[in-house]
Structure 1
Amino acid sequence: MMSLFHFFKDKISDCIKSRKSISVTTHIDCDGLTSGSIITKALIRAGAKCTVRTSKEFSKKVIESLKKDSREFHVITDLAGGFSKNLDESLGENWIVLDHHQISEDEKENQNVINAWKYGIDGGTEICAGGMAYLAAMALDDKNTDLSAIAVVSALGDRQDQGERKSFIGKNYEIANIAKEEGLVDIDLDLLLVGRETRPLPDALAFTSQPFIEGLTWNRDACLSLLNSSGIQLKDGGRWRVPAELNDEEKRTVIETITKFTSGKNATEIMSELIGYTYTFPREDKRSFLRDGREFSTMLNSCGRISRSGVGIAVCMGDRNKILREGRNNTYRL
């Protein structure tokens, strides 16, 4: 598979040597924003002149705009499946697609299409565009290992945590472990409550719909009453505590309390869905929605939906100030 990425490296090296400018075009969802950010950051680090933009979908109209673009080489991530012939006709050899969606046999034969399925890797569960962008970034320079953290967010955004207890499989598993070894992500078995780092405990339980718990899901008052009855301290001074702040004993108490509440009805099933792998970014602030991988991915999807893709890309590329505040507002507006 790496030979495919050597082709990518050679193309990019040629662009840098001949001072060709590069455009990165990517999708507006979490996987698009992360993959576009990963590849843009890697290109900038390599000394390339590049810009990044997003598109809701890919079409001949988009190809026409690339053709008219002043930039001489085009990298497309998480988009453009089925368009290789059109890209060849309009852009010649000056393009590369990094993607994970299933493609036809014709597309597999086009060397400018760098796709997981070409190498028998399941792009639905084992790697997404963010992972493909990460592998391409590593082909450019193995110092890009830090970009593995954003590739973890992309896999969560594409719901590829399909292994046992919401773990990763295939290339996603390998990339997540690289991020773990680099100290960028902590992977633990924990309660899978929505808003682990940001939502008050009663809200986190009420907003958790997978699993759906009859009488609790969407019912904050019932959740508050249940948690109060468990004896767990729900506030720290005047501030509500969030799920990530519970210690192991408190987590066990929550599980026992929920189990009693469900009174045997699918209790085992509910518990198996409620406990799974979490992906925490220890370098992000506590109680920040960027600290939990799933919350991070939700924020990026929100940015795409309300035409704030630039905010999502800036956050992925490391902006943690004004842009981050806007990202948080985008998440809570939905």
Structure 2
Amino acid sequence: MPPSLDELLAHSQKFLEDLRERKEPTLIVSHYDADGLSSASIFAWIFLQLDVPFHLVFVEQTYPDTLEDLPFKDYSYVIFLDLGSGYKELIREFTSNKKVMIVDHHVPSEPERWDHLVEINPYLVGVDASTQTSSSTLSYSIALRVVRADENLIPVALAGALGDRLDIGEKSSLLGLNRAVLEEGKKRGVVGEAISLRLFGFKRRPLVEALASTIDPYIPGLSGNPTACIKFLESIGINPRNGDTARNIGSLSHAEIKHLASELVKYMISMNVNVKEAEKIFGYNYFSLREADSSPLKDLREYAYVLNALGRLDQYGTAISLNFGHRGKYIVRAEESIKEYRRLIAKQLNNIVEQRSARVVSGRATIVFFIEENMPKLTGPVSSILANEFAQILRNTGNKIVGVASPLEGEKMKVSFRRLDESVNLGSLLQKYAKELNFVGGGHPAAGGALLDEKILEELLKRI
């Protein structure tokens, strides 16, 4: 860990030690995706160890309307997790007389300091927080400094990082602080990694189901199509069944895995997937060593998917319970939520692909699809899938950015953006135009979001 990051994290220790001494009830505000849920779980665990009462709230973002509804008047201490760095000016308006800590890894807004603010964002000390850290691994590192951290929090922290797709190193490996937490987990015997096929839920799902469920990377013609997956496997000489039993990855020999990986890469290239994207089918897998092979939390990428599904279906209690180690009925609830989440995502994607969407708006280099229903929590995952599945098609029509929009209450809408060209820094672009056009927006270089009305969206698309 860079010394500068270590020094930054030390500021959180003083903040939390002060809380330990005062036993002051604290408001914790967190984002609801995998990274936010993991961060919130780790902080809930910290506060239980400190014996400090807390009120945990999950929000879409620190929008003005959201901040107005939060019970700041009841608390002297406020913590923001996986959000806040890009909206410090707004936060200051509502918390100027509070002691505030922000733990975030999104591109921060210009320095906005006040006496009682502690901001833990690696960007502030020259670390690329959008690739090297997640809010969850930052939260785990903070836990290490304040209390005796539970090693079972390590898979939780890594699920948060993987949920933000921070496995961007060679062969889909984790980098920076995320890698450091992984190495700690390996040393403690709680997590493992292995280079193999990167198929979704490969530890527990039958081979055909794992192949059909894989969308990162997206496999044209196979992702979402079990029948086509069976035909593909048979065409390359791999029998998907052993008698009456469906085969899984564990039943394949080393030679079969190597052959399958090679044939998948060749197939994807033949379907106009670029070589770099096609080669992502083979790389590092991460898994919890203390989880049963049959569990949806075994494969840490699937764990992240479970948390994202629960967060977007408002099942926060189930997510926190799973992160605290509870299983049983919570696993059953999670499995049910995954089915519903996949159904909702598939419906929105089908509407877009089959051109049944409410509207499509194009700009100079951006295309935005509208979701008919008021489902702002689905704009992020739908935009990510579009950016993966249809990147080449969208680029061929001159687009460098794709967005998905959903109406909110009143005249506002939420738009989630994903870049299609690595030369684009979405977080910085959205922050710049947010000031010029008076809307709320920001994010990471590769992904961002905005809260704005339709007229401003049209002007934004003219400028980007």
1:317 has 2:317 as partner: no
CA distance in 2, matches of 1:61, 1:255: 49
How far off its partner does 1:246 sit?
Answer: 3.5
Which residue of structure 2 aligns with residue 250 of structure 1?
256
The one-character-per-residue Cα deviations of 1:124-173 (angstroms, maximum 9, x if unpaired) are 11111112211211111253444222121111100111111100111111
Task: Check whether the contact 2:194–2:285 (CA below 8 A) recurs between aligned residues.
Answer: yes
CA distance in 2, matches of 1:201, 1:8: 45
Q: What's the TM-score, normalizing by structure 1?
A: 0.88
Within the candidate set 180, 183, 195, 1:189 is matched to: 195
The one-character-per-residue Cα deviations of 1:187-229 (angstroms, maximum 9, x if unpaired) are 1101011231343212222333444545534432232133245
- Structure with the bigger RCO (C-alpha within 8 Å, sep 6+) is 1
Which residue of structure 2 aligns with residue 285 of structure 1?
292
How far off its partner does 1:279 sit?
Answer: 0.3
CA distance in 1, matches of 2:208, 2:302: 17
For 2:323, give the aligned amino acid: C
Within the candidate set 106, 111, 128, 1:106 is matched to: 111
Q: Is the deviation greater in 259-268 or in 223-232?
A: 259-268
The one-character-per-residue Cα deviations of 1:35-69 (angstroms, maximum 9, x if unpaired) are 11111112212322223221112133444444545
**Partner secondary structure for residue 96 of structure 1:** strand
Which residue of structure 1 aligns with residue 40 of structure 2?
36
Task: Check whether the contact 1:131–1:155 (CA below 8 A) recurs between aligned residues.
Answer: yes
CA distance in 2, matches of 1:101, 1:310: 25
Within the candidate set 76, 82, 85, 1:78 is matched to: 82
CA distance in 1, matches of 2:270, 2:331: 43
1:60 has 2:60 as partner: no
RMSD: 2.8
Which residue of structure 1 aligns with residue 460 of structure 2?
none
- Describe the shift of the 1:58–1:265 C-alpha distance in structure 2 as closer, same or farther (beyond 3 A): closer
1:203 has 2:209 as partner: yes
For 1:99, give the aligned amino acid: D
Q: Is the deviation greater in 45-54 or in 177-186?
A: 45-54
Which residue of structure 2 aligns with residue 135 of structure 1?
141
Structure 1 residues 1-334: aligned runs within 5 Å: 1-68=5-72, 70-91=74-95, 92-107=97-112, 111-228=117-234, 232=238, 234-235=240-241, 238-255=244-261, 258=264, 269=275, 272-333=279-340, 334=342
Which residue of structure 1 aligns with residue 355 of structure 2?
none
Q: What's the TM-score, normalizing by structure 2?
A: 0.65
Q: Is the deviation greater in 58-67 or in 44-53?
A: 58-67
For 2:170, give the aligned amino acid: E
Task: Check whether the contact 1:216–1:223 (CA below 8 A) recurs between aligned residues.
Answer: yes
Task: Check whether the contact 2:34–2:307 (CA below 8 A) recurs between aligned residues.
Answer: yes
**Partner secondary structure for residue 165 of structure 1:** coil
Q: Is the deviation greater in 240-249 or in 1-10?
A: 240-249
How far off its partner does 1:104 sit?
Answer: 2.6
Task: Check whether the contact 2:104–2:135 (CA below 8 A) recurs between aligned residues.
Answer: yes
- Describe the shift of the 1:22–1:326 C-alpha distance in structure 2 as closer, same or farther (beyond 3 A): same
For 2:142, give the aligned amino acid: A
How far off its partner does 1:249 sit?
Answer: 3.5
**Partner secondary structure for residue 157 of structure 2:** helix
Q: Is the deviation greater in 114-123 or in 222-231?
A: 222-231
For 1:191, give the aligned amino acid: L
For 1:49, give the aligned amino acid: P
Among all aligned residue pairs of Structure 1 and Structure 2, give the percentage whose two residues are the same amino acid. Answer: 27
- Describe the shift of the 1:313–1:207 C-alpha distance in structure 2 as closer, same or farther (beyond 3 A): same
Which residue of structure 1 aligns with residue 417 of structure 2?
none
**Partner secondary structure for residue 227 of structure 2:** helix
Gaps (5+ residues) in structure 1?
none
For 1:56, give the aligned amino acid: E
CA distance in 2, matches of 1:266, 1:32: 35
Q: Is the deviation greater in 251-260 or in 288-297?
A: 251-260
Gaps (5+ residues) in structure 2?
343-464
CA distance in 2, matches of 1:97, 1:267: 39
